[in-house]
A and B are shown apart, each in its own frame.
Chain A
Amino acid sequence: MTTQPGFPAQTNSWRPAGPMGVYGRENLFDYMDGAGELYLAYDFQRIFVQEYQRAGSPRITTEVYEMLSSQDAYGVFSHDPEGDDVGVGQGNAYAVGLLRFWKGPYFFRILADRDTPEAKAAVVALARSLAEPIADGPRPELPNRLPDKDLEATSVRYFHTHVSLNSLYYLADANLLHLSPRTKAVIAVYRTGGEKITLLIARYPSVRQAKEARREFGRAYLEDEREADGPLQIKAVEDGRHVGALVKGCFLALVFDARSRAACERLLREAEKRL
């Protein structure tokens, strides 16, 4: 268990508007209703909430999400990494009054209810104050396995569960890939020649589980069991698109939306080299 964040008593004349709120997995919905599912899909532990106010200025809500691992703090951040870099944490994005960043096992959301230059300065100062005592933590290893060529860097999302996958890229109502909190997965977009292709890589706790997920995907998604046990399967689906699946050890790689069989296989083979 890590320690609670040190909210400053004052930042650019903004002061706490009330006591700090703390919510855990058991009562997260009391604070944010169903929005909490996003965090519960990771190894969320607690959230610390502190409001700041200054007369005549925007109100600032500071949320500090304590995760069990820095990998999952990164994972939550990866859902929306686009914005201005304000130089705080291990990754950050500022846009229109909201600063999202991560450092060590913490993910932060600092929101000014109006975007003004003064509020932005206060948000960034708060972020620096909160981040300063926290040591950097390791990033997940799985995104490093994505092929570099044609990768849209801001599209990389790291996650574990079926709920997360379907909010990022709807695949199916059922959990065809057998995703779970013990699964590590990454999804990303590749752009080449005007074509947009999606690559998903999942790492399972065992080779057996990877093969079972591959088999289920072949049966239920590709609707073709004939090759579901083979190392590589590519199928032309609707709208002239191709879907491919490849299993290697405890890894499953899937390609979606390729406009040709060759493009589908090319990306799968590139991925295979790094698995």
Chain B
Amino acid sequence: MGSHTRRDFLRGTTAGALGASLGLSAVRATFAAEPADARTAVVLIRDEAALDAQNKGNLKVVETMLDKAVCRLAGKDDPAEAWKTYFRPDDTVGIKTTVYMISTSDEAIAAVRAGARKAGVPDEKILVGDRGAAPGKAKPVTALVNVPSLKAHHMSGIGCAIKNYIVYHANPASMHPDSCAELGAAWQVPAIKDKTRLIVVDALLPMFDKGPQVTPKYRWPYRGLVVGTDPVAVDTVCLRIIQAKRDAFKGEPWPVSPPPKSIAVADTKYHLGTSDPSKIHLLKMGWDHDVLI
């Protein structure tokens, strides 16, 4: 993806099909009806009971949601068998969270930890952290679960799975220019490269503007998790959720700004996955009230 202008997005041709996921073009690409590739399957699961009236998470509900999503993704009926698709008992599993500002919820982290245990990974070999304590950075791991929160981001458009690994780069601030386009480079760091087995986006209480600083008026109880193995496909789905919420909030197109160039670059330059909605098999489960996509 080279240098573009707003007009390129208006034309609907920029960044491949990703451009059509933004609010700038009248074109809205649709997700695949059938799986083109098992890796590009993305599960969106929601449950009204995931949060209470005060937006406090319900661990039991969130754990059940995640088990169902992992079963669907793995094509298994039994949660333990499904988790074993991704982790082995001899793995050291790192759960990479987001601790600052719009942080990953305790419930999402606990649900992922419980899932790794179901695969037979002992508790002492499950590492959880971010920044200096990020697993793979502080201590070596054999497998990673990427567990970001979902938010709009004033620098990168959205902050989600791809951006969650910025801490692994030797100089995170160097990745800020050009709308954080090169975030995919952080995924090439040897300590973590090719170790991500699962992505679990905490979309229980996302934020659709002014991220990453907490601005409560832009958070909403979506009560969802987005689960997959392809970070680019997962972020493409999450972008669509944020964009749809913004449009619904204003009652008119309110494009994510800046466009999340890092998603397209992660696809075309770093080959981390696909940003083309027509190749992403979106599997929706559970509560569909105001699902937005």
Contacts and interface: CB of A to CB of B under 8 A. Distances in A.
Interface of A: 29, 32-35, 37-38, 79-80, 83, 95-98, 109, 111, 114-115, 163, 166-174, 176, 196, 220-221, 223, 237-239, 241, 256
A265 to B, nearest CB: 20
B146 interface: no
Contact of A167 (B11, B213, B258): B258
A38 B172 CA distance: 16
Given A96-B216, A169-B257, A170-B259, A34 B179 contact: no
A172 B5 contact: yes
Contacts of A83: 217
Interface in B165-193: 166, 172-173, 176, 178-180
17 contacts: A33-B172, A34-B155, A34-B173, A35-B101, A35-B154, A38-B213, A79-B210, A97-B216, A109-B213, A163-B155, A170-B9, A170-B255, A173-B179, A196-B252, A220-B5, A221-B7, A239-B10
Given A166-B257, A169-B257, A170-B259, A33 B100 contact: yes
Contact of B100 (A32, A38, A97): A32
B261 A173 contact: yes
Contact of A33 (B212, B215, B257): B212
B5 A237 contact: no
Contacts of A237: 7, 10
B155 A115 contact: no
Contacts of B26: 239
B142 to A, nearest CB: 27
A250 to B, nearest CB: 24
Given A166-B258, A174-B3, A238-B11, A37 B176 contact: yes
Nearest to A112: B216
Prevailing SS type, chain A contact patch:
mixed
A15 B5 CA distance: 50
B271 interface: no
Interface string B245-259: 000000010010111
Given A35-B213, A98-B217, A167-B154, A172 B4 contact: yes
A173 B3 contact: yes
Interface residues of B, number: 38
A29 B261 contact: no
A169 B252 CA distance: 15
A238 B10 CA distance: 6
A239 B23 CA distance: 13
* The 7 A-B residue pairs with the shortest CB-CB distance in the complex, in nearest-first order: A96-B216, A238-B10, A172-B5, A95-B217, A167-B154, A166-B258, A173-B3
B6 interface: yes
Contacts of A172: 3-6
Contact of A170 (B6, B100, B156, B214): B6
Nearest to A111: B214
Given A34-B156, A176-B5, A220-B5, 7 more contacts: A34-B173, A80-B210, A95-B216, A166-B257, A167-B155, A173-B178, A239-B26
Contacts of A37: 154-155, 176
Nearest to A169: B257
B214 A34 contact: no
B6 A171 contact: yes
B98 to A, nearest CB: 10
A168 B100 contact: no
A108 B212 CA distance: 17
B185 to A, nearest CB: 15
Contact of B217 (A96, A168, A169): A96
B10 A241 contact: yes
Most central of A115, A168, A170, A256 by chain B CB within 10 Å:
A170
A188 B259 CA distance: 20
Contacts of B5: 171-173, 176, 220-221
A98 B261 contact: no
Contacts of B211: 35
B201 to A, nearest CB: 18
Contacts of A79: 210
Nearest to A31: B100
Contact of B54 (A114, A167, A171): A114
B179 A166 contact: yes
Contacts of B154: 35, 37-38, 167
A80 to B, nearest CB: 6
Contacts of A33: 100-101, 172, 212
